[in-house]
Amino acid sequence: MLREYIATFHSHFGAARFHKEKVKEGKKAYLQPVPRDLSSSCGTAVHFYVEDNGKSEPLSIKDPHGEIEQIVEIVGHSYKVCYAPLE
Amino acid sequence: MNFKAERIHIAIAGGIIGIISVALVLLGNPANMGFCLACFIRDTAGGLGLHRAEAVQYIRPEVIGLVLGAMILSMARGEFAPRGGSAPVTRFFIAFFVMVGALMFLGCPFRMVLRLAGGDLNAVVGLIGFVVGIAAGVFFLKNGYSLKRTYKQTMVEGLSLPIVQLVLLILLVSAPAFIFFTAEGPGAKHAAVIYSLGAGLIVGALAQYTRLCMVGGFRDIILFREPKLLIGFCMIFLTALIGNLIFGKFHLGFADQPVAHTDSLWNFLGMVLAGLGCTMLGGCPLRQMVMAGEGNADSAVSYLGLLVGAAFCHNFGLAASGKGPTPNGKIAVIIGLVVLVCIAFMNTFGKKEERS
């Protein structure tokens, strides 16, 4: 089963780099505008999918450049925050 | 996540903003200038005495309302977030040249749409230039252009520009001797303060809620094939066009358009400069005002760049007029294009070590 996520970023460049990394990992991912109900920012988000491997949280997050604003999982019609680094 | 609902909201907001823009002209604003961020910031610079072009000196309440409307709604929705630190000095200079480009064309992207809705065909040339400028900006974005990320700031930092706008409102209403008011010219044409301020508050709140942005509209079409933001401006055009037709404010043609000139090359190049600069800033002047209202200190710096740019444009004869562009203005637009392309290159290809 595929789990569906949206990641938002502090810059378009961060989103583009994350998207490239996900595609390189062989994951289905695409760039899109940030959904309004996630943020008032009009920047770029990455919509991506991760194979559910039976773990409670299959997402492994690496953010060496500190560019990720947050990552949410789409659960039904709502979002579950998976990653929101403190500043 | 519901893109369809977002599209409906932005279409309604755009429709309301178009109606408000026509109403402001009927209430006293210059023709095809219900809203114009470039013109209104330029007038405000004149009202403060930063330039001495007597025809355009008036602290415009619409800009004050935009910032405060966005601030009030963002606070009510828990979205007010003081942030900043993303290349503020670079942003200042980019915004400076956005104003140079806008005052060559005689209008920001918002007024470009209102000019189109008034039948001004010079705005079609401006629109083509604007899209070319955005496409150039998107080229750099796709190749890694970035002014680096923002960081959390103090509440004082986020509230600075809204407080400045409140001070401007007090100065406008109290009218001390050191504040300038145009006696004759576009600066003398304005709706009553209460209407202008109210319109600004409503448009600021609507733009905050929907993230309305002319640059974002074309950028998202090119980057994601997503028309949502553009729908808002299409609706502004449509309702303003209907309003202009109803009230006899529609005059199709190139010649004799209000606060406009017919030099197509410089209308085009002015908007190329504005489109490129706005894409590099991450939003049009309207969006910058809204983000400043949400506590974004970088957008507040962009406002200062626009304000100083407007003052320079009139102190050094860079701004065009109904008679056409000036030699100084043409040189400034060329310099602006060179400077912005250099900034874009350095922030795209000059940071390879960070790109791994």
What span, in angstroms and rounded, lies between the C-alpha atoms of B330 and B341? 17
B287/A10 Cβ within 8 A: no
Q: What are the extents of the domains in chain A?
A: 2-83
- Chain A residues in contact with B220 by the CB 8 A cut-off are 33
Question: First and final CA of chain B: distance in angstroms?
Answer: 32
Could you tell me if B324 and B104 are in contact, meaning their C-beta atoms sit under 8 angstroms apart?
A: no
- Chain A residues in contact with B216 by the CB 8 A cut-off are 42
* pLDDT computed for residue A85 by the predictor: 87
A40/B74 Cβ within 8 A: yes
B106-128 average pLDDT score: 98
B144/A42 Cβ within 8 A: no
* pLDDT computed for residue A55 by the predictor: 67
Residues B40-95 pLDDT 10s: 999 999 999 999 999 999 999 999 999 999 999 999 999 999 999 999 999 999 99
How many C-beta neighbours within 10 Å does residue B303 have? 24
Q: Which two tokens stand for residue B305?
A: 């760049």
Which residues does B125 contact at the CB level (< 8 Å), separation at least 6? B264, B267, B268, B271
- Measure Cα distances from A63 to A21, A72, B228 in Å: 11, 15, 30
Which residues does B153 contact at the CB level (< 8 Å), separation at least 6? B82, B83, B84, B85, B295, B297
| pLDDT of B329 above 60 | yes
Count Cβ–Cβ pairs < 8 Å, chain A vs chain B.
66
| pLDDT of B354 above 70 | no
Mean pLDDT of chain B: 96
| pLDDT of B356 above 50 | no
A16/B142 Cβ within 8 A: yes
* Of the candidates A84, A87, A79, A55, the residue with the CA atom closest to the CA atom of residue A6: A79
- Measure Cα distances from B282 to A27, A72, B202, B279 in Å: 28, 24, 23, 5
Higher-pLDDT residue of B1, B34: B34
What span, in angstroms and rounded, lies between the C-alpha atoms of B303 and B12? 27
Specify which residues A32 forms β-bridges with: A45
- Measure Cα distances from B295 to A79, B83, B280 in Å: 25, 6, 20
Distance (Å) from the alpha carbon of A20 to chain B's nearest alpha carbon: 11
What span, in angstroms and rounded, lies between the C-alpha atoms of B42 and B29? 15
Q: Give the residue ranges of chain A where pLDDT is below 70.
A: 55-58
SS3 call for B121:
coil
What span, in angstroms and rounded, lies between the C-alpha atoms of B150 and B304? 18
A11/B149 Cβ within 8 A: yes
Question: What whole-number percentage of chain B has pLDDT above 90?
Answer: 96
Residue type, B163: I
Q: Which two tokens stand for residue B82?
A: 């003081």
Interface of B with A in 12-71 (CB under 8 A): none
The verdict on B349 touching A (C-beta cutoff 8 Å) is no
Which residues does A55 contact at the CB level (< 8 Å), separation at least 6? none
Could you tell me if B64 and B279 are in contact, meaning their C-beta atoms sit under 8 angstroms apart?
A: no
B312-323 average pLDDT score: 97
* Of the candidates B354, B254, B26, B69, the residue with the CA atom closest to the CA atom of residue A16: B354
Q: What are the extents of the domains in chain B?
A: 3-354
* Of the candidates A2, A1, A23, A5, the residue with the CA atom closest to the CA atom of residue A68: A5
Q: Which two tokens stand for residue B109?
A: 């992207």
Which of B72, B149, B291, B355 to probe by mutation at the A interface, max A CB count within 10 Å? B149
B148/A31 Cβ within 8 A: no
Which residue do the tokens 């949206």 mark?
Answer: A6
The verdict on B157 touching A (C-beta cutoff 8 Å) is no
- Chain A residues in contact with B157 by the CB 8 A cut-off are none
A42/B211 Cβ within 8 A: yes
The verdict on B293 touching A (C-beta cutoff 8 Å) is no
Residues B286-311 pLDDT 10s: 999 999 999 999 999 999 999 999 99
Q: DSSP code of A40?
A: S
* pLDDT computed for residue A86 by the predictor: 78
| pLDDT of B20 above 50 | yes
* Of the candidates B104, B77, B149, B42, the residue with the CA atom closest to the CA atom of residue B263: B104
Helices (H), ranges, chain B: 3-26, 37-47, 61-76, 88-105, 109-117, 122-142, 155-174, 193-210, 214-224, 228-246, 264-281, 285-293, 297-315, 327-346
Residues B231-250 pLDDT 10s: 999 999 999 999 999 999 99
- Chain A residues in contact with B145 by the CB 8 A cut-off are 12-13
How many C-beta neighbours within 10 Å does residue A53 have? 8
- Chain A residues in contact with B1 by the CB 8 A cut-off are 6, 35, 37-38, 74, 77, 79
* pLDDT computed for residue A52 by the predictor: 83
For A10, name the nearest residue in chain B, comparing CA atoms only.
Answer: B149
- ipTM of the complex as predicted: 0.89
Which residue do the tokens 């997402």 mark?
Answer: A59
B1/A35 Cβ within 8 A: yes
